[in-house]
Amino acid sequence: MKQITEQQIRQHLINSGVKNLKQFGYPYVTESNILTDEVYKEFFKSMLNDVLGVSPEADKVIQPLLTELEAEQEVN
């Protein structure tokens, strides 16, 4: 069985966040601005918190991603 890397998990989470936001009516969300736009970031943080604890492998990626989103918020 092929091992999934942390980078692949991160990319999957970001892609899922973009897809979910587009389904909720935000057609301009991208892989880049989901990490920087205030509205998109809040949605993405909520999504990440919802899946936190489901998988130890994913948690290794989710925790740093949440920290990154929080750090970006402090800069702005």
For the chain, the structural domain boundaries read 6-75
- Predicted structure pTM score: 0.88
List, as one string, the DSSP characters of 35-76: GTSHHHHHHHHHHHHHHTTS-HHHHHHHHHHHHHHHHHHHH-
- Are residues 74 and 61 in contact, defined by beta-carbon separation less than 8 angstroms? no
pLDDT, one tens digit per residue, over 12-51 is 999 999 999 999 999 999 999 999 999 999 999 999 999 9
